[in-house]
Amino acid sequence: MRIEVENDQIRARKKQEYEELVAEMDQKGMEARLEKISIVTANVFGVLVFFIVGAISFALFYLIHGREALGNYMGVEGSAKLLLFVVVYAVTIFVHEFIHGFFWHFPCEGKWKSIDFGFNPKCITPYCHCREALNLKQYLWGALAPTVFLGIVPIIVGLVIADAFVLLIGVVGVVGGCGDLMVIWTLRKHKDCMLFDHPYEVGYAYFVKKNAD
């Protein structure tokens, strides 16, 4: 496992590692193609998901627990609510990346050695990067897991324990997984391919037999 703050040197190293993988796959008669995710589309999708998932979750909460319960916020009152939200939300951003790494380390030959965690100062975001190519099933679980554990699970827990804060964290957790969900949506096109987290593009590379359509 490497933990680092991204800089030019690290970017160059990642690019080199990627090129080495491409060369290795080339020897096996495979070529790399890119599946890129548009950041603009991801943001629009994120806003839509926020309103749709938020409306459904809070409507359900209201129907089950009534209006009063909307004030349940982990026992916190007043302006401390906002502070609690900001702190917990910031923590979940890092936990999100950790969950990716946790699920991806299992299928990797190098286990944790093949997982990098970093912080990109340019876009002020942490990231997780897997240095091995994975098959669809292996890639899928790691891509989906943060949305499940930080999104769907808290929404269910919030509904069950009647806590609006836990519910809200879940809604925001699903929004945080929108980019991953877009990636997952594209995976259906590459069912039999080995997939590799692209080192500097938003998206991934997939390997197909040379001269394939």
Q: Please, which residue, 65 or 105, has the CB nearer to Zn ion?
A: 105
| Least distance to Zn ion, CB of residue 107, Å | 17
**Residues 83, 92, 164, 157, Cα dihedral to 10°:** -150
**Please, is 144 exposed, middle or buried when counting C-beta atoms within 10 Å of its C-beta (0-12, 13-18, 19+)?**
buried
| Least distance to Zn ion, CB of residue 142, Å | 9
Query: Is 208 strand, coil or helix?
Result: strand
Distance CA 82, CA 61 (A): 20
Q: Please, which residue, 116 or 180, has the CB nearer to Zn ion?
A: 180
Distance CA 113, CA 115 (A): 6
| Least distance to Zn ion, CB of residue 82, Å | 25
Query: Under the criterion CB under 5 A, does residue 132 sit at the interface with Zn ion?
Result: no
Distance CA 129, CA 198 (A): 8
Task: Fill in the DSSP letter of residue 201.
Answer: S
| Least distance to Zn ion, CB of residue 100, Å | 5
Query: Under the criterion CB under 5 A, does residue 163 sit at the interface with Zn ion?
Result: no
Where in 171-190 is the site for Zn ion (CB under 5 A)?
Answer: 180
Residue nearest to Zn ion (CB): 180
| Least distance to Zn ion, CB of residue 120, Å | 13
Distance CA 145, CA 150 (A): 8
Q: Please, which residue, 72 or 92, has the CB nearer to Zn ion?
A: 92
Q: What residue ranges bind Zn ion (CB under 5 A)?
A: 180
